[in-house]
Structure 1
Amino acid sequence: MKRAMWINADFSRRVVVSGDAWDWVASPQAGVERVMLDRIGGEQARATSFVRYAPGSDFPAHDHPGGEEILVLSGTFSEGGKDFPAGWYLRSPPGSRHRPASAEGAVIFVKLRQMRPDERAWVRLDTRDPARWRVDGDRRRCDLFANGDEAVCLLALAPGQPLLAAAAPGAEAVVLEGAMLAEGQRLGPGSWLRLPPGTHSDVVAGPDGATVYLKTGELGLWAPQGAP
């Protein structure tokens, strides 16, 4: 039995991983590597990761009992005979099954086993479609998913704009373009941060603005209990 891993398992603490500090580790499947951002469990874990597929790599067909959320960051990710280039958002509910692959190679942001058990939504949308974006106050927004527990979107922020427009029970962001500033640290593309409840007014877009993936809600709601 593989030992359980507890990586950034305390949701009451701020966590920052800079995009220039990714630490790739091999997965059980040849040609597939990952950066473990948070993780609770063994190989079958509640996890948030960046995953890199080498050209021509794939994973055997497998189930996702707790659901899976994906944002394609680069290259082309494929499943079920369909190709999803960079910018596609995929959300598959608990009990879903797929065989992922990438002919040209891809880097994706992945969240596993973090959905409410009764979720049934399937989402497949292209965030690079201008029609999906709208003006929301002083920022531009592309809504991806929302229910009573969480809201997921992309935000385009002008220089100096805060990540959060109001206090949130928790927030998680990936910098896609530009940069964010947090406690004076510049977080460029590929940076990931997870914030505990609050306003976090120090987390703002850098001097050239930023485009980010943002999830708000009680992020540890479906986490297994017992983390140290």
Structure 2
Amino acid sequence: MQPCIFRASALDGGMFPYVTLAKDKSWQPGPYDGVELLVLHKNETTGGVTILRKFRAGLTVPAHVHPLANEYCYVLSGEWEEGGAVYTIGAFFFAPKGVKHGPHHAKTEVISLTVFDGPLTVQ
């Protein structure tokens, strides 16, 4: 497989105005103990973020609301449970802004690709 090498910029007509590699980023503490975030992109205008989220095996995230953003989540690895349903690799879900969801229980370590279309806040 060819490595991803960023040569173009948004100004010179390159295909993608932004390219990053996860390996060049660092995991940061998330909003709950046992959750880590790797920010792939932040939209400086909307505050929205595209992130990888890692949930420690056995972790239960309490029911919560994202008051400022819709949440789009795709499970890349692991499995978690919510409301009796088990989500595994390939599952996609959408949580509308302001709608309570959870609790989520990570049955194994879970990694998801998640997009918040506004600032990532939790209540």
Secondary structure at 1:20's aligned position in 2?
helix
Q: Which runs of 5+ in 1 are unaligned?
A: 1-10, 115-222
Aligned to 1:108: 112
CA distance in 1, matches of 2:85, 2:106: 11
Q: Secondary structure at the match of 1:30?
A: coil
Q: Which has the larger radius of gyration?
A: 1
Structure 1 residue 91 and structure 2 residue 66: aligned? Answer: no
Identity %: 26
Shift of 1:56: 0.8
* Cα-to-partner distance string for 1:73-122 (whole Å, 9 max, x where unaligned): 0011332232100111111223321122312110001111x2xxxxxxxx
Report the CA distance shift for 1:33/1:81 in structure 2 as closer, same or farther (over 3 A).
Answer: same
Give the Cα–Cα distance (whole angstroms) in 2 for the partners of residues 81 and 39 of structure 1.
Answer: 33
Give the aligned residue type for 1:93.
P
CA drift of 1:40 comes to 5.5
Amino acid at match of 2:99: S
Q: Match for residue 28 of structure 2? A: 25
* 1:77 corresponds to 2:95: no
* Greater per-residue strand proportion: 1
CA distances 1:47-71 after superposition (whole Å, capped 9, x unpaired):
2210001101132211133321000
1:50 to 44, 49, 52: 52
Superimposed CA distance per residue, residues 168-216 of structure 1 (whole angstroms, 9 cap, x where no aligned partner)? xxxxxxxxxxxxxxxxxxxxxxxxxxxxxxxxxxxxxxxxxxxxxxxxx
Within 1, Cα distance between the matches of 2:105 and 2:21? 27
Is the 1:53–1:101 Cα contact (8 Å) retained in structure 2? no
Structure with the greater relative contact order (CA < 8 A, sep ≥ 6): 1 or 2?
Answer: 2
Which residue of structure 2 lines up, in the alignment, with residue 62 of structure 1?
A: 64
Taking structure 1 as the reference length, the TM-score comes to 0.40
Higher mean displacement: 11-20 or 86-95: 11-20
Question: CA distance change for structure 1 residues 22 and 92 in 2, over 3 Å: closer, same or farther?
Answer: same
2:56 partner letter = A
1:55 and 1:82 mapped to 2: Cα distance?
Answer: 17
What is residue 42 of structure 2 aligned with on the other side? 39
Q: TM-score, normalised by structure 2?
A: 0.69
